[in-house]
Chains A and B, each alone.
Chain A
Amino acid sequence: MKFLKIFRYEFAYQVRRLSTWLYLAILLIFTIGMNFLITPGDGVYANNTFHIIGITVIGGVIWLLMGAVIAGEAAAREVQTRMHPLTYTSSVNKFEYLGGRFLAAFAVNALLVLSLPLGILVSFYLPDSAEAAMLPFRLTPYLNVYFLIALPNAFIATALQFTFATFSRQVMTAYLASLLLAIFPQVIGLTAAKLFGNWDLVKLLDPVGVAGIMGSELATWTPTEKNTRLVTLEGMFLWNRILWVCVAAGLLWLTYARFSFTVPSTTTWWTRSKRRKLPAEPVAETGVVRTTVVTVPQVPRSFGFATGFQQALTIGWATFRKIARNPVGLTLVGAIALCSAIFGYKIMTQFEIPLFPTTPQVSDYLTTNVGDIGSPWVVIPLLIMYFVGEILWSERDAGLGDIADATPVPEWALVIGKFLGLGLIIVAWMLLLMAGGIGMQLGLGYTKLEPGLYLKALVGIQLLDYLLFALLALMVHIVVNQKFIGYLVMFLVFLFLAFPSTFQVEHRLLIFGSDPGWSYTDMRGFGNTLGPWLWFKLYWLAWALLLAVIARLFWGRGRAQGLKDRLQLAKRRFTPATTWVAVIGLGLILVLGGFIFYNTNVLNEYQSGNDFQEQQAAYERLYGKYRNTLQPHLIRTKLNVEIYPDKEEVGIHAAYTLVNKDTVALDSIHLGGIAGVEPTEVKFNRAATVLLSDKKLNHQVYLLKQPLRPGDSLELNFVVHYKNRGFRHNGSDALVVKNGTYFTNYDLMPSIGYQPFREIKDAVVRKKFGLAARLEIASLYDAQARSKPGSTDQASLEAIIGTATNEVAVAPGVMQRSWTTGDRRYFHYKTDASIGGEYSILSANYAVQESKWQDVDIRIYHHPGHTKNIDRMLRSVKASLEYYTEKFGPYPYSHFTLAEQAGSGGGASADGSMIYYGEQYAQLNPDDGPEGFEMPYYILAHEVAHQWWGLARLTPANVQGAGVLIEGLAVYSGMQVLEKTYGEKHLQQYVNFLHSFYEMPRSLATPSLLQADEPFLYYRKGGLALYTLGKYIGKEKVNGALRSLLQQRDSGVIPLPTMLDLYKEIQKVTPDTLGYLLRDLFETNTYWRLKTKQFTSTKIKADQWQVTLKVHAQKVVVDSTGAEHEIPMNDWLEVGIYKGENELSQQPLHLQKHRLRSGDQVIQVTVPRKPTRAGIDPNFLMIDLRRDDNMIQLDEE
């Protein structure tokens, strides 16, 4: 009875509160708003279950903040309002009291989260959204998300919040619970996934579902699945629900057990749990009343600016101490910094290979955008948001508000003082991060510390970002002047900062605190990124000044007052000094904002995402009709390039030799490139007129007076001039900079003909702009696409490049000559064969390492400090040239150039006769021990392979599967070089690396390899399929097929090769008995499920052991909708029986292919010695998502 009464009272109390209804409204607005902001993908209906689940999960995160107030109030309101002595002394018992209040909070929260599916449902049927295609109404999805996601989440969160608030006796601590729920499991889970490759842990640990449901489960769904699929209560999700409901129940039990109806002492739950001795009872005072004479000494007081300043310092210091003493004040950031130091060996990696933890690398890890919610540092903005509310309300929460407000402290000193305290704590956090970073470096044995760079990156750059954010939070709280609503508003502001484009805001002048980004690398230093960054920050500091004025004007002093009173107060506080500060702030905003706008929008072209798509669409609409217009081919490029690194300027005089390779005369020449750098002084060596010159889209059409006859050629001369003027909106456009110039021909040089790659690919966007629907990549069976030249220019390059005297310019080709004229240094390069259609030009203060393989000159241009991998690179290049020449045919050039490309890239890329590698590649530091892996060696072998596959040699038609012909073959080739140099076990590590991509959350419904359309298939499945094939038919046969393909299809011959040609060659060398395997690997999207269930061995003779394996095999094809179709098996599969403890030390006793059918079966083999491990497909030749059950250890009987 009492239980019911308590429940009813608390429930009614919460429901009658205005804020509860406000929360409801916010959740409803969120769900409905998101429906308008989000456009479903191609083939997805408006009311798809993916949307319903996603919005429920995200809405649940927003609810976490609201739920904190509700649960916290239910748990701690009585203590906080000091009403508890009345209730505690009544006859109610613990169970009734806690139970009633908890249930009431849970009921309110359950109703609040009900608004999520309800709001989503309503949003689908609002009049405005009726036009979108809809699936028929089904109730199940809404019930499903409510009862499996929203309601359990509400229970878990309410329990945690209630527990926290009960023990701390403060409503606010419930927020902490929300914070922990939202952050910790995700961070831990994601860390586990990224560091240890265990993705199931995320699903298990994430109670909220952002990473566990959306990040892993939903991310794999196909459009068909998105429409109707639901999260089902099975597997890890089931365990997740069980785990968290148990945690919640346990917490509730703990609350019940530990709670007692006693008046809280002055200690907190923290000190209470330490069972500290209470301070001695105050000694009773004497009852004798002495008349004392009050003699307070007269001391000087002052009230000027200096006093205010000192008061601000005092308040700042007190604020800092208060936060620092908070249980999460320093510990949370400290813990993450510590973990970073401990797990440095896992964090400082690229492609799972250790990196040298240089200070630029580590500080890059330690810094992030304020709005980046995917990094662990998101705790910092969240902590800032939490502490802003705490410190702003600390006096009022402690009941000291009136006394403090009546003291003669100017408002500005209060604002600045509180902000100062917050700033100090952020500085402390930054120093903790720095300590973590240095700890990471020392832990990895790296001792070349650069504290100066840390200070610049963390205390200089990152601190300012956080301070701006803190000031914004402070201002929001001051203006809102209602603690919990303040938190909510600030959280919504944070969401805006994290996802501005979702709210259709893109220009950085409109996103508080944003900047075009900065970077630091060994080569470029800060490059030209610091200036724009600083301008933006100055602009935001001007805003900060204005915000500070607003904060001063609206500073809530005295009793909570109505809007009218506050406005009146603000008017009175608008003193001349304030006015001046406001005017200066406004003036600075206008001047700095104007300057930035001038740079981003006037000096440079500003394009929103939509503008850019608009431009792409316009290009296709206007010039798409020339898609199939025959054009002459570029066969020779001659360049005179003048690079001015200091001035960030480059001028190019170019001569193109074009030849008509077709059978009809050509009279028009199309010339175009990326918008913004159009060629000038265009001249032909024969009469021609300009037919069209579109400067905006950079497309020009020239009409030749005399058509170009088949076989004839002409010369085209033009000038390109590029100068970095001011800075750009998205700062990433540093083509020419000191000690780090790098640009490709596509960046600056025009191409011949219509450029299909400038079209919009995404189907939904195409529809939006009214463009004809088409596949993102043309179909494998599209005959027309096969005969289309596309980008198949095969040109030689000759370039004379001038640069500053302290730099070396690099381009493909043999260096003919190098000389110095005045303060310019010139380099003359010339290729001795065609290098395909793309090339890059670099200039930096390079050191050169020269070497030779047979007649090929190898030169490596590298940053003088980056020498660790040079030797390894040379070895890899030489071994690769040797192997590929032998297997696939000769290397066509007399030179091979490698150049380090300024920037943070970790990979490498190739052009004809040239390889570029990023600075991070230079810092790869593979473990040389037996467990280590030579990824850098492999990467170069892969890139060298592109001299045969892609570029100037095998140039496939731009249709499905083309990526396999370029990347898949390069992966397979690189693997062979790796095996040749380092052996089979080393290769197996790379195979495991390829398999590991299958373990990340991804949709199983991919196209077949023949029709591959994504990098995952090109690189991972392509590599695996060819490797498996090699294991079945022998790698020499596979190499022979590849060689044959290359010989028949040399570069640029039409029709261009496709996967079908490769498949034909492979079929020729594959016996008919393995036809099924080719189908499984190339034609269909097949997965195997192989499992060894039992493994026994009995000794028959002295050297004979009878091995019995019970295995299960299954093969399924997953179609494009995600549906699985089992197909009967009668496949050859490896059966392996080994002696030895683990994979590294094991010796095979038996490794042969056996025929296996679908289902359970028994395999019997006799081996000469006692085996320890056995199973099917021990080398993971098949694509099996569970590889860990292929093999088992012997179970003794």
Chain B
Amino acid sequence: MTLQIKNISKVYSNGVQALRDVTLSIPNGMYGLLGPNGAGKSTLMRTLATLQEPDSGSIFLDGIDVLKQKDEVRQTLGYLPQEFGLYPKAKAEDLLDYFAVLKGITNRASRKEVVEALLKQTNLWEKRRQKLGGFSGGMKQRFGVAVALLGNPKLMIVDEPTAGLDPAERVRFLNLLSEVGENSVVILSTHIVEDVSELCTRMAIINKGQILQEAEPLQAVAALKGKIWRRIIEKRMLPDFEREHKIISTKLLGGRTVIHIYSEADPGSGYEAVAPDLEDAYFTTMAGYHQNHQPQKEGEVQP
């Protein structure tokens, strides 16, 4: 199963270009879509989830034209939006059962079986008779996953799913996803680098509607080997360093500033080579020093 996205563009009526000529090829497994807030991730995800029309381009899930055969796509789709609500007065079990019908599980017995299994998988079994209005953020998120998992989707789209989760929930959730990813296309959009580095076999970095880099996380990191250097400086010195070096990130550490720079050669004294991680790869790309795609002129420095 492969998802082929070709030349998708979208301009909103207020003039914002949300997607610019996006082309991606997504195989089975976990695929991370990494980018800052407002990069166009959600627009792309909604487009994949049949909820939005692009201005141009095409999307194919194997033989299915996603833009035209929406019904067929929806039959294999699991979608967890970035933000969603639940009927506060409904009970978890009832609402999940309701969605099971909407997903085409019409047999009462099998619906019962699936609902029970999913509630157990998502650790909500104990709360199944509780009103959804009383659910915490994590419980709500897990309920969303349960809905998305109904009907064993072949295409799973999860939009920033870990945002509101506590560490334990996050880990459990990501585990859940990677299990699903074993025989489905799972697209995970996030602005948290760890989500991708820990799970995804492939990833794309997106900013301002453009794909800046598409790679396997391990390769992306490997490509930076020996090119990332670190130095601890006084905060007031930062402008001087910015002029001299390609700073990709700055962090405050106990009142002092740690900078990472990108340099193919040894930048000299005071710098120490660091083993790059995915975060470095992300910032390098965001800062426009990665040459895979067209460089971004006004690359923002992410703190």
Contact with B along A267-302 (1 / 0, CB 8 A): 100000000000100100111111111111111111
Asked whether any CB of chain A lies closer than 8 Å to the CB of B211, the reply is no
Question: In this assembly, does A569 line the interface, its C-beta being within 8 Å of a C-beta of chain B?
Answer: yes
**Among candidates B87, B101, B130, residue contacting A400 with C-beta atoms closer than 8 Å:** B87
Of B174-182, B191-199, B225-233, B293-301, the one touching chain A: B174-182
| A572: interface (CB < 8 Å) | yes
Given contacts A266-B88, A292-B172, A408-B74, contact A402 B49 (CB under 8 A): yes
In the complex, whether A364 has a CB less than 8 A from a CB of chain B is: no
User: Looking at the complex, which of A145-153, A310-318, A890-898 is the stretch in contact with chain B?
Assistant: A310-318
B17 lies within 8 A of chain A by Cβ: no
Are B103 and A314 in contact, with the CB atoms below 8 A?
no
| Shortest Cβ gap from A823 to chain B (Å) | 60
Within 8 A of B (CB), among A168-211: none
Pick the interface stretch among B107-115, B237-245, B257-265, B269-277: B107-115
Residues of B within 8 A of A725 (CB): none
A325 lies within 8 A of chain B by Cβ: yes
Q: Is B53 an interface residue (CB 8 A)?
A: yes
Q: Tally chain B residues at the interface, Cβ within 8 Å.
A: 61
Closest A residue to B81 using CB positions: A402
Cβ-defined partner of B79 (8 Å) among A286, A291, A294, A403? A403
Structural contact, B53 and A569, CB atoms closer than 8 A: yes
Point out the residue from B77, B89, B136, B168 that lies within 8 Å of A406, measured CB to CB.
B77
Binary flags per residue of B109-123, CB closer than 8 Å to A gives 1, else 0: 011011001100101
Asked if A403 and B89 sit within 8 Å, CB to CB, the answer is no
> Is there contact, CB below 8 Å, between A302 and B52?
no
Q: Are B75 and A303 in contact (CB under 8 A)?
A: yes
The answer to whether A399 touches B106, judged by C-beta atoms less than 8 angstroms apart, is no
Quick check: A400 and B106 within 8 Å, CB to CB? no
Once the chains bind, are A300 and B107 in contact (CB under 8 Å)? yes
Chain B neighbourhood of A289, CB < 8 A: 168, 171-172, 175
> Do A279 and B113 have beta carbons less than 8 Å apart?
no
Cα distance A407–B81 in the bound complex, in angstroms: 13
B89: min CB distance to chain A, Å:
7
Whether, in the assembled complex, B20 has its beta carbon less than 8 Å from a beta carbon of chain A, the answer is no
Instruction: Decide if B104 is an interface residue (CB 8 Å cutoff).
Output: yes
Task: Tell me the B131-152 residues at the A interface (CB within 8 Å).
Answer: 131, 133-136, 139, 144, 147-149, 151-152
Closest Cβ neighbor of A312 among chain B residues? B101
**A402 touches which one: B79, B105, B168 (CB < 8 A)?**
B79
A409 CB to closest chain B CB, in angstroms? Answer: 5
Interface centre among A288, A325, A402, A569 (most CB of B within 10 A): A402
Q: How far is the CA of A558 from the CA of B68 in the complex (A)?
A: 14
Q: A394 to B81: give the CA distance in the assembly, Å.
A: 17
Q: Write out the residue numbers on chain B whose beta carbons fall within 8 Å of the beta carbon of A561.
A: 52-53
Question: Interface size bucket, A side?
Answer: 35 or more
Contacts A296-B117, A398-B86, A402-B84; A407 near B74 (Cβ below 8 A): yes
**Residues B149 and A299 in contact, CB atoms below 8 Å apart:** no
Please tell me if A864 contacts chain B, counting CB pairs below 8 Å.
no
Say yes or no: B68 contacts A572, CB within 8 Å. Answer: yes
Distance of A1049 from chain B, by nearest CB (Å): 79
Which residues in B have their C-beta under 8 angstroms from that of A403? 79-81, 84, 99, 144, 147-148
A525 contacts the other chain (CB 8 A): no
Distance in angstroms between the alpha carbons of A405 and B50 in the assembled complex: 8
Task: Decide if A404 is an interface residue (CB 8 Å cutoff).
Answer: yes
Selected from A302, A404, A572, the residue in CB contact (under 8 A) with B106 is: A302
| Bound complex: CA A409 to CA B74 (Å) | 8
Residues on A with beta carbons closer than 8 Å to the beta carbon of B103 = 301, 407-408
Is the CB–CB distance between A399 and B13 below 8 Å? no
CB of B202 within 8 Å of the partner chain: no
- The reply to whether B114 and A287 form a contact with Cβ atoms under 8 Å apart is no
Contact of B266 with A by CB under 8 A = no
Residue B16 is within 8 A (CB to CB) of chain A in the complex = no
Question: How many whole Å from B151's CB to the nearest CB in chain A?
Answer: 5
In the complex, chain A residues whose CB is within 8 Å of the CB of B88: 266, 398
Complex Cα distance, B152 from A299, in Å, reads 9
Question: How close is B108's CB to chain A, nearest CB, in angstroms?
Answer: 10
User: Does A768 sit at the interface, judged by CB under 8 A?
Assistant: no
Which A residues between 388 and 418 are near B, CB-CB below 8 angstroms? 394, 398-400, 402-410
Q: A407 contacts which chain B residues (CB < 8 A)?
A: 74, 99, 102-103
**A294 touching B176 in the complex, CB below 8 Å, given contacts A302-B104, A302-B106, A400-B87:** yes
Closest residue of chain A to B82 (Cβ to Cβ) is A402
**B134 — nearest CB in chain A belongs to which residue?**
A279
Judged by a CB distance under 8 angstroms, whether A17 is at the interface is no
Q: Which residues of chain A are near B117, meaning CB under 8 Å?
A: 295-297
Q: Is A1150 an interface residue (CB 8 A)?
A: no
Task: Determine whether the beta carbon of A314 is less than 8 Å from that of B98.
Answer: yes
Is A306 in contact with B121, judged by CB distance below 8 angstroms? no
**Residue B6 interfacial (CB < 8 Å):** no
A399 near B176 with CB under 8 A, answer no
Give B85's nearest chain A residue, CB to CB: A399
Most chain B Cβ neighbours within 10 Å, of A298, A301, A303, A325: A301
Q: Does B51 contact A (CB under 8 A)?
A: yes
In the complex, A557 has a CB within 8 A of chain B? yes
Any A CB within 8 A of the CB of B83: yes
| Distance in angstroms between the alpha carbons of A294 and B145 in the assembled complex | 12
Contact of B123 among A265, A285, A565 (CB under 8 A): A285
Q: Which residues of B contact A303 (CB under 8 A)?
A: 71, 75, 104
- B134 / chain A contacts, CB cutoff of 8 Å: 266, 279, 282
Tell me, rounded to whole Å, the shortest Cβ–Cβ distance linking B12 to chain A. Answer: 9
A307 interface residue per 8 A CB criterion: yes
Contact B46 A558 (CB under 8 A): yes
- Minimal Cβ-Cβ distance residue in A for B99: A407
Pick the most buried of B103, B118, B152: most chain A CB atoms within 10 A of its CB: B103
A410→B71 contact, CB < 8 A: yes
Report if B127 contacts A (CB, 8 A). Answer: yes
Query: Which residue of chain B has the shortest Cβ distance to A271 in the bound complex?
Result: B89
Q: Are B79 and A296 in contact (CB under 8 A)?
A: no
Minimum distance in angstroms from B154 CB to a CB of chain A: 12
A562 / chain B contacts, CB cutoff of 8 Å: 13
List of B residues within 8 angstroms of A279 by Cβ? 130-131, 134
- B75: which of A267, A288, A300, A408 is its contact (CB, 8 Å)? A408
> With contacts A291-B175, A294-B176, A569-B53 known, is A299 near B86, CB below 8 A?
no
Which residues in A have their C-beta under 8 angstroms from that of B87?
394, 398, 400
Assess whether A402 is in contact with B46, with CB atoms less than 8 Å apart: yes
A16 lies within 8 A of chain B by Cβ:
no
For residue A559, CB closer than 8 A to chain B, the reply is: yes
Contact yes or no, A325 B175, CB < 8 A: no
Contact of A310 among B101, B118, B127, B176 (CB under 8 A): B101
In the complex, what distance in Å separates the CA atom of A612 from the CA atom of B53?
Answer: 55
Instruction: Write the B84-96 contact mask toward A (1 if CB under 8 angstroms, else 0).
Output: 1111110000000
Q: Mark A539-575, 1 if CB is under 8 A from B, else 0.
A: 0000000000000000001110110010011001000
**Interchain CA distance A409-B179 in the complex, whole Å:** 27
A301-B136 contact, Cβ under 8 Å, with A296-B117, A402-B81, A408-B71:
no
In the complex, residue of chain A having the shortest beta-carbon distance to the beta carbon of B172: A289
Q: Are A559 and B51 within 8 A (Cβ)?
A: yes
Smallest CB separation, B40 vs chain A (Å): 14
Which one of A294, A295, A301, A558 lies within 8 Å of B52 (CB-CB)? A558
Give the complex CA separation of A299 and B107 in angstroms: 9
Residues in chain A within 8 A of chain B (CB atoms)? 265-267, 279, 282, 285-303, 306-307, 310-311, 314-315, 318, 325, 394, 398-400, 402-410, 557-559, 561-562, 565, 568-569, 572
The 8 closest A-B pairs by CB, nearest first: A399-B85, A266-B133, A558-B51, A299-B110, A408-B74, A294-B179, A301-B104, A406-B79
Q: Please name 9 further chain A to chain B contacts, defined as beta carbons within 8 Å, in addition to the given A295-B117, A561-B53, sorted by A numbering.
A: A265-B133, A282-B134, A300-B110, A301-B151, A306-B106, A402-B49, A407-B102, A559-B51, A572-B68
- 17 A-B interface contacts by CB (under 8 A): A266-B134, A286-B168, A289-B168, A290-B172, A293-B179, A294-B180, A296-B121, A297-B113, A299-B105, A299-B107, A300-B110, A301-B75, A301-B103, A400-B87, A404-B102, A405-B50, A405-B51
